[in-house]
Amino acid sequence: MTTPLVFTFILLAAAAAAGAADNPAEPPGAKPGAAEQGKVAPAHVTARQIVERIKQNVGCPWAATTVDTFKAGNPDVEVAGVAVTFMASLDVLQQAAAAGRNFVITHEPTFYNHWDKTAGLEGDKVLAEKQAFIEKHGMVVWRFHDHWHARKPDGIIEGVARKLGWEKCLRPGEAAVFDVPETTLQALAGELKTKLHASVVRVVGKPPMKVSKVAMCPGAGGSAGQIKMLQRDDVDVVLAGETPEWETVEYVRDAAAAGKSKALVLLGHANSEEAGMEYCAEWLKGFVTEVPIQFIAAGDPFWSPK
């Protein structure tokens, strides 16, 4: 009994695989091996459908007012592949297009301001070039910012912690304070620079200062929150993306001059959050399986003379 049944199954599986391979509607970026796994019909998914799945999986209510919206392209276009990035820069869009990833999920704005408003940029040649590239390659861009942060735990902080190997260092009851093995400010800053692939890291505070209580304030969360963290006795260093230089920077300079063990590491916005989007790509793979998903690093936009 066993042999004929197995043989029948092999025949059916082979027919299904052949059918899928012959179907001209198979998306060009479909995962190799899908047919071998016994899928009869090729799976189709649109950008809008992927976003709906993200809304179902992110674990926090979807806000009525949010920057997490489509920024360019047709949301109902069939997705061949997904590129996840910190920033949909022209360079990242080019890499995504070359790899056949026509749906780009970006953490930060595409068009140079928080709401991606193009008013005031009419006739701008840089904007026009970017828009033309997106259109020419049939790409769709969607921003995933507010809700990736609102997720518990914050998806960006979790991703950066993973990148740094700090998963087990999160202080119980805290969302963003880590107790790391004691080191010096200089060594910590060097470690961050290496692990986060930063070109430029700026540090305020005394290099030999001992640090172990680290608050993570990724991106541009604002000086008020950064200073509030620095006021705490159980925090000695704040890691931030960016800050107005005359606010938190000067607060820490005065704290150090007053003999207090306080420090600030300005990682740069991209360096402070990029690993959080690398993690987002892995998270997406858990419930988007029809198409390939690839993280594309935007990298540090800055350089500094030696």
Which spans of this chain sit near Zn ion (rule: CB under 5 A)? 219, 273
Smallest gap from residue 176 Cβ to Zn ion (A): 12
Closer Cβ to Zn ion, 219 or 268, answer by number: 219
User: From the CA atom positions of the chain, what is the Rg in Å?
Assistant: 23
Closer Cβ to Zn ion, 73 or 219, answer by number: 219
CB-CB contact of 234 with 260 (8 Å): no
Smallest gap from residue 206 Cβ to Zn ion (A): 29
Helix, strand, coil tally for the chain in percent (to 5): 40, 15, 45
Smallest gap from residue 272 Cβ to Zn ion (A): 8
Q: Which residue has the tokens 């992927």?
A: 50
Closer Cβ to Zn ion, 273 or 290, answer by number: 273
Residues 200 and 303: their CA atoms lie apart, in Å, by 6
Q: What is the DSSP string of 82-127?
A: EEEES---HHHHHHHHHTT--EEEESS-SSSSTT---TT-TT-HHH
Closer Cβ to Zn ion, 78 or 273, answer by number: 273
Smallest gap from residue 149 Cβ to Zn ion (A): 6
Residues 181 and 255: their CA atoms lie apart, in Å, by 23
Residues 105 and 142: their CA atoms lie apart, in Å, by 5
Tokens at residue 81, please?
């592949």
Closer Cβ to Zn ion, 68 or 236, answer by number: 68
Smallest gap from residue 151 Cβ to Zn ion (A): 12
Closer Cβ to Zn ion, 108 or 236, answer by number: 108
Smallest gap from residue 143 Cβ to Zn ion (A): 10
* Closest residue to Zn ion: CB criterion: 219
Residues 279 and 83: their CA atoms lie apart, in Å, by 13
